[in-house]
Amino acid sequence: MARSLKQDDGILLVASVLCMAGSLLSAALYFLLPPASNKDIEVLPAAVQALGKIRQGTLRTIAYSIVNRGSEPLTISEVVASCGCTTTSITKKDIPPGETSVVTLSYDSGQSRGVVRVIAHVIYRRISMDGSESLSLEAKGEIDPDYGINPERLQFKADKKVSQRLVVWPRHTKDLGVTNVTCDKRFFAAHIAGEPTGGQVSIDVTFDPSDYYRDAGPAQLSIATNSHVQPVAHVPIDVIH
């Protein structure tokens, strides 16, 4: 099981790097390129849309109609998403006055949990201008996870030896099972507390301050399950001074 956890952690690390790279590029475009003029471009139904509840491990698409309300043609050079979990498509790059192009964002929820915010920047230029401008498109939603975890973050005081319990329960995986629990820092220990009760699995995490060192960095609990959607969930652990 240890090897399985490391393989899943590697996949999550690659996904995180891709998302970070996309976020950095998105931030750079936001600050370096001037925003679109509202009188020249209209976004229908809106530049910010709601994704609502999104099942974990599914794909959700959302479309934006970009209408050229100006007097000169616009040319879209690219659409840059803020995260590697989002792909984009466009019906046409050249938009004459009065015409429309549709930009579609396809968001893969993967193993994400919690609130999600997807941003894409439409990079375009006018014929009369030398430089490019950007138009931001956004979608917000909340992940409906395959199984629940409560709490989704643990906090311990640095000077007190204590245990905390969290509970894992099925939502969409009918016969959810927790196969292993581990903490990545030596001053934390985790174990499954007894047999599942009513489909719920209890996990106890114990903090030992005698092994704690201040510059240890962030800690996390890894929960391995039989879920095909999210085989391993990671719960952050904070030590408060």
pLDDT above 90 as % of the chain: 75
According to CATH, what is the number of the domain 147-240? Answer: 2.60.40.10
Q: How confident is the model at residue 4 (pLDDT cuts 50, 70, 90)?
A: very low
Q: How far apart are the first and last CA of the chain?
A: 34
Domain boundary assignment for the chain: 2-144, 147-240
Is residue 27 over pLDDT 50?
no
Task: Provide the CATH number for the domain formed by 2-144 in this structure.
Answer: 2.60.40.10
pTM: 0.76
For 32-70, the pLDDT digits (tens) are: 444 444 578 999 999 999 999 999 999 999 999 999 999
Q: Report pLDDT digits (tens) over 91-133.
A: 999 999 999 999 999 999 999 999 999 999 999 999 888 889 9
Query: Is the Cα dihedral 22, 27, 32, 36 positive or negative?
Result: positive
Any idea which residue has 């609990």 for tokens? 221
How much is the CA Rg of the chain, to the nearest whole Å? 23
| Adjacency order of strands within the sheet including 188-192 | 147-150, 162-170, 201-207, 188-192
The strands making up 178-183's β-sheet, listed across from edge to edge, are 154-157, 232-240, 219-225, 178-183
2-144 with 147-240: one CATH topology?
yes
